[in-house]
Amino acid sequence: MDLQPHPLVRRLESYCPLTEQERQVLRDASREIADFEGDRDLVREGERPVNSNVLLDGMTFRYRLTPEGKRQILSFHVPGDVFDAQSFLLAEMDHSVATLTPCRLAVLPHRAVRELTETHPGIARALWKATLVDAAIAREWMVSLGRRDAQQALAHLLCELVARLDAVGRAPQRSIELPLTQTEIGDALGLSNVHVNRTIRELREARLIALQGRRLVVLDWERLKAVAAFNPRYLHHDV
């Protein structure tokens, strides 16, 4: 029993039980660590990466740009997330990935992933499941983009980030680091930065949240969840 288990092992184990041998080969395969500064592309649309990555520390996001220069943010990633497992099977990137903050990654060469998954069906299943949860999160965002108003959508995003960070021990007292500009929040929710500002003010004035600088404190979790109609089922946290 590690006191601080490998984040990848911890995450995959939360999806499927692993044998001690599987844990060990996972640790071996992800020994290579890489550090990146904040606000920097890690992969770009159209590229063909040769590694997948596990986020160990920091925050990243996926995005697409339209020809008119608009940006849609497709997901945010927190420590423990395997944010580009898909590049192992889908050769060409259909979106870009960038850091929000300085980040530490564990590098998983596709070659190693192939070997791991062919030899250990349990690892394959756990990685597959990780990508399915990722897809479930994307579907939930579609509901925000299509059918929730600005206040509901913002509340929902905040609930989700608190829940996901809490699952990796980074939301003490429902307070989290939120290294997002209002423009980035807008690009995630399909809103303008101006409207995000006004919507944050609404939530603040309703005493649901406190948000200053990069720190979010949820003041009234129950009411925030109610505004968002937040049901964490889609995060598939409890097995």
Partner DNA sequence: CGGGGCGTTGACTGAGATCAATTATGGTGG
Partner DNA sequence: CCACCATAATTGATCTCAGTCAACGCCCCG
Residue with tokens 């070997």: 115
Residue 19 binding result from its own copies, DNA, none, given CB thresholds of 5 to 8 Å by partner type: none
If we measure between CA atoms, which residue out of 26, 133, 122, 145 comes closest to residue 77? Answer: 133
Which span sits near its own copies by CB under 8 A: 34-42, 102-110, 132-140, 202-210?
132-140
Task: Report, in Å, the least distance between residue 124 CB and its own copies.
Answer: 5
Question: How far apart are alpha carbons 128 and 7 in whole angstroms?
Answer: 17
Q: Which of 19, 21, 119, 181 binds DNA (CB under 7 A)?
A: 181
Residue 117 binding result from DNA, its own copies, none, given CB thresholds of 5 to 8 Å by partner type: its own copies
CA angle 76, 208, 150 (to 5 degrees): 55
| Residue among 71 and 170 whose Cβ is closer to its own copies | 71
Task: Convert residues 150-179 into a mask of x (bound to DNA by CB under 7 A) and - (unbound).
Answer: xx----------------------------
Our finding on whether 210 is near its own copies (CB under 8 A) is: no
CA angle 30, 234, 133 (to 5 degrees): 25
Our finding on whether 186 is near DNA (CB under 7 A) is: yes
Residue 182 binding result from DNA, its own copies, none, given CB thresholds of 5 to 8 Å by partner type: DNA
Q: Which of 89, 169, 193, 207 binds its own copies (CB under 8 A)?
A: 89
Question: How far apart are alpha carbons 83 and 131 in whole angstroms?
Answer: 8
Task: Report, in Å, the least distance between residue 161 CB and DNA.
Answer: 15
The footprint of DNA on this chain (CB under 7 A) covers a number of residues equal to: 18
If we measure between CA atoms, which residue out of 63, 83, 79, 169 comes closest to residue 127? Answer: 83
Question: How far apart are alpha carbons 62 and 72 in whole angstroms?
Answer: 9
Our finding on whether 183 is near DNA (CB under 7 A) is: yes
Residues 172, 140 contacting (CB under 8 angstroms): no
Our finding on whether 138 is near its own copies (CB under 8 A) is: yes
Our finding on whether 136 is near its own copies (CB under 8 A) is: yes
CA-based torsion, 98, 184, 76, 180: positive or negative: positive
